[in-house]
């Protein structure tokens, strides 16, 4: 079982899955192995459909340390990883049939994105960094780039100096979801912020070795995931924004604000790097929720 798992992980690597995704797959499969071991199953050939059905039931009733059940989306994610693993086993002839083929993931309702800023809140957030200090210049460039492009946390942190073309006003993203690359515009304000950062701030953050990462930490290293998140959270609090904000909130805000200003869905799809237009269409539902709120507030038949 362990050998098959290692072959599966190697397959994910050569298929260009991110290390984070590979770690998640490994964790989910090992959790299944622990469950099966408790039932006396130590060989792949001994796994039956009923064993996986019981594992699905176990996930449904399992509770986290805070006594909260696993969400349906978490259950679906765990089962998806397991189904991918068994599909690989059948394809590589480790198994003759797929015991997970009849396992159905929980049906999920598409939730609207949370933490979307108003345009006024976004402007206030972007004005918070102190541009008179090196870290303030860096943070200003980070916030502007997040909001201008809607890129993900990892996509921003993995940018290198050569990925940004300030003359053309473009940035190349090579570490998108599914390792898909794209080139997106960064806009005038983000370009100015990045230019100031590169000229006056980044040289002060570089230590003995410069590996060419665009955004550096105080130690001169590539910015960490938690570091980028902390920057957004800190300035959101400073701006007096009550809604919990993350890096992804700026991504959602970018798409929603562009849609409000009449950008086509296809353009937003290209900007965000969505593979399917249906993923982008969720922002039309955000628009509808805004319409309902305004209708309730402004329509004479809704006034009390």
The pLDDT score that the predictor gives to residue 157 is: 93
Q: In the annotation, is 238 catalytic?
A: no
Tens-place pLDDT, residues 174-208: 876 666 788 888 989 999 999 999 999 999 999 88
Q: Which of 41, 47, 34, 29 is nearest to 84 (CA)?
A: 29
Q: In the annotation, is 274 catalytic?
A: yes
Name the residue ranges covered by the structural domains of the chain: 2-91, 119-297
CA distance 80 to 100: 10
Contact 54, 38 (CB under 8 A): no
CA distance 171 to 184: 6
Tens-place pLDDT, residues 245-275: 999 899 899 988 888 888 887 888 888 887 7
Q: In this prediction, what percent of the chain has a pLDDT beyond 70?
A: 89
Query: Choosing from 49, 177, 182, 222, which is the catalytic residue?
Result: 177
Sequence-distant (≥ 6) Cβ neighbours of residue 279 within 8 angstroms:
269
Instruction: Lowest mean pLDDT of 10-14, 40-44, 64-68, 229-233, name the range.
Output: 64-68
Query: Choosing from 55, 147, 235, 283, which is the catalytic residue?
Result: 283
Query: Choosing from 78, 138, 251, 252, which is the catalytic residue?
Result: 251
183 DSSP assignment: E
Instruction: Lowest mean pLDDT of 19-23, 288-292, 299-303, name the range.
Output: 299-303
Long-range Cβ contacts of 235-239 (<8 Å, 24+ apart): 235/125, 235/128, 235/129, 235/139, 235/143, 236/125, 238/128, 239/121, 239/124, 239/125, 239/127, 239/128
Instruction: Find the mean pLDDT for residues 121-142.
Output: 95
CA distance 197 to 140: 8
CA distance 15 to 20: 14
For the structural domain made of 119-297, what CATH number should be given?
Answer: 1.10.443.10
- Res. 62 pLDDT band, cuts 50 70 90: confident
165: enclosing H helix or E strand? strand 164-165
Tell whether pTM > 0.95.
no
Q: In the annotation, is 295 catalytic?
A: no
Query: Choosing from 138, 140, 202, 274, which is the catalytic residue?
Result: 274
The reply to whether 119-297 shares the fold of 2-91 is: no
Query: Choosing from 152, 157, 202, 252, which is the catalytic residue?
Result: 152
For the structural domain made of 2-91, what CATH number should be given?
Answer: 1.10.150
């Amino acid at each position: 079982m362990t050998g098959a798992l290692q072959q599966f992980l190697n397959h994910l690597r050569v298929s260009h899955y991110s290390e984070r995704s590979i770690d998640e797959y490994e964790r989910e499969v090992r959790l299944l192995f622990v469950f099966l071991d408790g039932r006396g199953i130590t060989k792949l050939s001994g796994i039956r459909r009923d064993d996986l059905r019981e594992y699905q039931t176990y996930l449904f009733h399992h509770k986290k340390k805070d006594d909260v059940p696993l969400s349906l989306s978490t259950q679906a994610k765990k089962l998806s990883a397991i189904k991918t693993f068994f599909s690989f086993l059948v394809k590589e002839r480790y198994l003759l049939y797929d015991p997970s083929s009849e396992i159905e993931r929980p049906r999920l309702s598409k939730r609207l994105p949370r933490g979307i800023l108003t345009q006024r809140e976004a402007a206030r957030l972007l004005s918070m960094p102190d541009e008179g200090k090196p870290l303030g210049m860096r943070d200003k460039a980070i916030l502007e780039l997040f909001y201008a492009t809607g890129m993900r946390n990892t996509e921003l942190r993995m940018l290198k100096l050569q990925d940004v073309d300030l003359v053309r006003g473009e940035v190349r993203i090579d570490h998108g979801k599914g390792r898909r690359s794209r080139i997106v515009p960064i806009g005038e304000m983000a370009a100015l912020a990045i230019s100031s950062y590169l000229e006056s701030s980044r040289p002060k953050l570089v230590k003995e070795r410069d590996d060419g990462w665009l955004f550096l930490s105080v130690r001169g290293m590539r910015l960490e995931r938690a570091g980028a998140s902390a920057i957004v959270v800190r300035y959101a609090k400073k701006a007096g924004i009550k809604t919990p904000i993350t890096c992804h909130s700026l991504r959602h805000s970018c798409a929603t604000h562009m849609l409000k200003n009449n950008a086509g869905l296809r353009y937003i799809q290209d900007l965000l790097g969505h593979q399917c237009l249906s993923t982008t269409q969720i922002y039309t539902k955000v628009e509808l929720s805004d319409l309902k709120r305004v209708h309730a507030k402004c329509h004479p038949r809704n006034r009390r």
